[in-house]
Every structure is written in C-alpha cells, then in structure tokens.
Homo-oligomer: A and B are copies of this chain.
C-alpha cells in the first residue's frame, strides 16, 4: 500500500522539488564545477539578490548543497553530485518530446491542408 511508504515518497519528492526550478537547477549544475559564492550567482543570474539567496536556501534545506561563510562571502558547495545524474536522461526525454510534438504539428498541418 502506498500509504505505508508515503513518508519516503514525500522525502524523495521534497528533494526533487528543490531542484525543479530552472534557476535552482542551473545553480546546482554550476556547483558541479566547484563551489561558488552568492556574488558569483548574482553576476550570472538576472534576478534580485534576495531571490537568489532564497533559491540557495531551498537547495540547502533539501540537503543538496551546503554553505560556508568565509570572510564577507558565503560559498555554496554541492554535497551529493549524483543527484544531477538525471540530466542525461532528461535531455533524452526533451528530445523525444520535441520529435513527437513536431510530428504532431506536421500531422495537424497535413490534416488542415487536405
């Protein structure tokens, strides 16, 4: 029964949810190349610094990243890089969706014309 395992699914979904935002996904992927301070994200992302800080705190709360204050700066670090392994498969899905949707478009076009 799903009810028994619900807590585990909630925990897993919570982690996915933290990653399921374009900006947060970008941040996590950037951290694959090494730690970054908030100020670096601020330079790259066109959003208010408070928005960026909140996105990072969501990743942190989910346990995906950790932070460390050094001087005036706060550095974020990817704790568990394996969580980003889904990327390759996601790209496959995106490509397959594009294919299916473009062939659907063609079908609609053809149906219109005939």
Contacts and interface: CB of A to CB of B under 8 A. Distances in A.
A19 B16 contact: yes
Interface in A3-22: 3, 5-6, 8-13, 15-17, 19-22
Contact of A25 (B13, B25, B63, B96): B13
Main secondary structure of the interface of A (DSSP, over half): helix
A91 B97 CA distance: 29
A92 interface: yes
A46 interface: yes
Interface of A: 1-3, 5-6, 8-13, 15-17, 19-26, 44-46, 62-64, 79-80, 82-83, 85-94, 96-97, 100
Contacts of A89: 80, 82-83, 85
